[in-house]
């Protein structure tokens, strides 16, 4: 049986007189907010760690990991090791849901909550026909959840993406994985989705309600008891693709097609960060985790985006900043992405020496006096790249020799290289004058 939080608090504050009673009363009566209840429990666990008898032979990083694992087990109402309380109340269930993470299979989706402790709840992935839990994530361990249109599909579909808190772990200490599932925007049926919440009853008779929108409403309702948790959706004011959707004319697209290595995927530029999906591994770059961004390999039709970000490890420590390069992005979306980066102050580091934009075959544009002019303040990377590419093309045309280098008098080398270059220039001028006379 899992250790109760009240036992942990009582043991941690033992001998503190009335302080122990006050903390227990605040926890039991829920006189404080949800985050404060979590804080009280975490403080108690920390005190017990400090009270540990004798020095531990484990290294500090190992102790931190074990502490997190222990805390995860103590907090879990339904530990994901097969010991779930299957009698817990199911507030919402949908059958035959297609998941792509943590596994590619059809499962039952459930939102459950413990009536004895309304703060404790889970999103569960159940076996299609058996009362067997395939995967679960505690509601408190959810960092963000997204409701996104599925790109490049003729039939309207929605993608749900649940991102766990950085560093959160399962009962066995392994990192929690994102949960991703797809739903069609079709009318829901009672035999497919069932719910017991008042929100569902209000939506039940809505003609425009779909399986996807119904699930979104239930998930929002289910997560509302956790502070600052609501579904994140694309926002036109943040980013919308400039590329029209051929299969859905008049509708905006909120994704950008990219490659990460050889893997094709999509980037979504959202109000809380940047999401890459939908094949594993799903990556979410919150604004706080992003060190810098950079545009590289800026060409006429495509460019690359490098997002340098830090990830929290299982032991709670941040890892070294890692560069994630997304390639083959359509040039049409450059301006929108650049505006997004500037709006959210994501440190556009394109001109940094260590990650300078790799604009190929480009020279600085020249002014009327032949000297390279200074770039205007605020000029976009796209404008600079286009100007430089045009200049490069002009220079290539000037250097082009239609005779293939076999001009008259070839083979008569000059006494020195400088003289040869001068003679070549004079010969071109004479050729131009003869053309004009003709």
- Angle at alpha carbon of residue 154, lines to 270 and 303, rounded to 5°: 45
Span 102-127, average pLDDT: 87
Higher pLDDT, 251 or 353: 251
What is the rounded average pLDDT of the residues 215-239? 89
Question: pLDDT higher for 317 or 202?
Answer: 317
Nearest CA among 420, 159, 178, 201 for reference residue 282 = 178
Alpha carbon 370 to its chain's center: 46
Phi-psi region of 396 (alpha: psi -120 to 50; beta: other; left: phi over 0): alpha
273: left (phi over 0), alpha (psi -120 to 50) or beta: left
Task: Give the angle subtended at the CA of 99 by the CAs of 94 and 101, to the nearest 5°.
Answer: 135
Residue, of 52 and 48, whose pLDDT is higher: 48
pTM attached to this predicted model = 0.63
- Exposure class string for 190-219: b at 16+ Cβ within 10 A, else e: eeebebeeebbeebeeeeeebbbbbbbbbb
- Residue 367's H or E segment, with its range, is none
Instruction: Please give the backbone phi and psi of residue 172, each rounded to the nearest 5 degrees, phi first.
Output: -95, 5
- Max mean pLDDT among 200-209, 224-233, 329-338, 422-431 falls in 329-338
Per-residue confidence (pLDDT) for residue 265, from 0 to 100: 95
pLDDT in tens, 263-315: 999 999 999 999 999 888 899 999 989 999 999 999 999 999 999 998 765 45
Rounded to whole angstroms, the Cα distance separating 125 from 108 reads: 6
Q: Quick one: average pLDDT of 411-438? A: 46
pLDDT-derived band at 226 (thresholds 50, 70, 90) equals: confident
Question: Residue 161 has what pLDDT?
Answer: 98
Q: Rounded distance, CA 231 to CA 30, Å? A: 26
- Percent of the chain exceeding pLDDT 70 equals 57
Q: 94 burial class (0-12, 13-18, 19+ CB within 10 angstroms)? A: buried
The DSSP code for 166 is T
Q: What pLDDT is attached to residue 121?
A: 87
Q: How confident is the model at residue 380 (pLDDT cuts 50, 70, 90)?
A: low
Answer yes or no: is pLDDT of 136 > 80: yes
Would the pLDDT of 112 be above 80? Answer: yes
What pLDDT does 38 receive? 61
Reported confidence tier of residue 170, pLDDT bands at 50, 70, 90: confident
Q: Tell me how far apart the alpha carbons of residues 166 and 5 are, in angstroms, rounded to a whole number.
A: 23
Q: Which residues pair with 147 in a beta bridge?
A: 160
Predicted local confidence at residue 407, as pLDDT: 43
d(CA 271, CA 237): 9
- Cα Rg for the chain, rounded, in angstroms? 31
Say what the pLDDT of residue 394 is: 59
Q: Provide the pLDDT confidence category of residue 258 given band limits of 50, 70 and 90.
A: very high
d(CA 355, CA 278): 27
Stronger pLDDT, 197 or 369, i.e. the higher one: 197
Which of the residue ranges 31-40, 333-342, 382-391, 422-431 has the most confident prediction, judged by mean pLDDT?
A: 333-342
Averaged pLDDT of the chain: 73
Q: Quick one: average pLDDT of 179-208?
A: 71
pLDDT at site 224: 85
């Amino acid at each position: 049986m899992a250790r109760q939080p009240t036992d942990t608090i009582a043991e941690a504050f033992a001998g503190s007189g009335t302080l122990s009673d006050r903390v227990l009363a605040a926890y039991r009566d829920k006189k404080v907010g949800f985050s404060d209840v979590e804080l009280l429990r975490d403080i108690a666990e920390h005190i017990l760690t400090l009270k540990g008898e004798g020095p531990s032979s484990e290294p500090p990083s190992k102790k931190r990991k074990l502490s997190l694992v222990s805390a995860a087990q103590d907090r879990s109402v339904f530990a994901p090791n097969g010991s779930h309380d299957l009698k817990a109340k199911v507030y919402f269930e949908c059958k035959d849901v297609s998941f792509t993470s943590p596994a590619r299979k059809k499962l039952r989706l459930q939102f459950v909550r413990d009536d004895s402790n309304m703060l404790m709840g889970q999103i569960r992935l159940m076996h299609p026909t058996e009362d067997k839990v395939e995967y679960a994530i505690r509601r408190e361990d959810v960092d963000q959840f997204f409701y996104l249109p599925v790109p490049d599909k003729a039939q309207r579909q929605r993608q749900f993406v649940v991102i766990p808190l950085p560093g959160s772990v399962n009962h066995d200490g392994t990192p929690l994985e994102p949960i991703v599932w797809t739903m069609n925007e079709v009318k829901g049926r009672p035999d497919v989705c069932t719910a017991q919440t008042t929100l569902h009853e209000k939506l039940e008779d809505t003609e425009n309600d779909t399986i996807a929108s119904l699930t979104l409403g239930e998930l929002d309702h289910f997560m509302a008891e956790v502070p600052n948790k609501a579904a994140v959706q694309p926002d036109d004011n943040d980013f919308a693709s400039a590329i029209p959707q051929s299969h859905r004319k008049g509708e905006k697209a909120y994704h950008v097609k990219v490659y990460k290595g050889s893997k094709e995927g999509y980037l979504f530029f959202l109000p809380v960060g940047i999401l890459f999906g939908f094949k594993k591994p799903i990556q979410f770059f919150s604004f706080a985790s992003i060190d810098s961004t950079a545009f590289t390999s800026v060409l006429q039709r495509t460019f690359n985006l490098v997002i340098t970000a830090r990830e929290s490890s299982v032991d709670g420590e941040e890892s070294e900043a890692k560069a994630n390069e997304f390639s083959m992005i359509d040039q049409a979306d450059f301006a929108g992405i650049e505006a997004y980066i500037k709006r959210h102050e994501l440190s556009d580091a394109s001109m940094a020496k260590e990650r300078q934009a790799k604009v190929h075959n480009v020279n600085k544009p020249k002014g009327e006096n032949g000297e390279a002019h200074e770039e205007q303040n605020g000029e976009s990377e796209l404008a600079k790249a286009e100007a430089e590419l045009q200049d490069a093309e002009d220079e290539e045309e000037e250097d082009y020799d239609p005779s293939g280098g076999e001009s008259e008098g070839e083979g008569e080398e000059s006494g020195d290289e400088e003289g040869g270059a001068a003679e070549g220039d004079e010969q071109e001028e004479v050729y131009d004058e003869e053309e004009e006379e003709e």
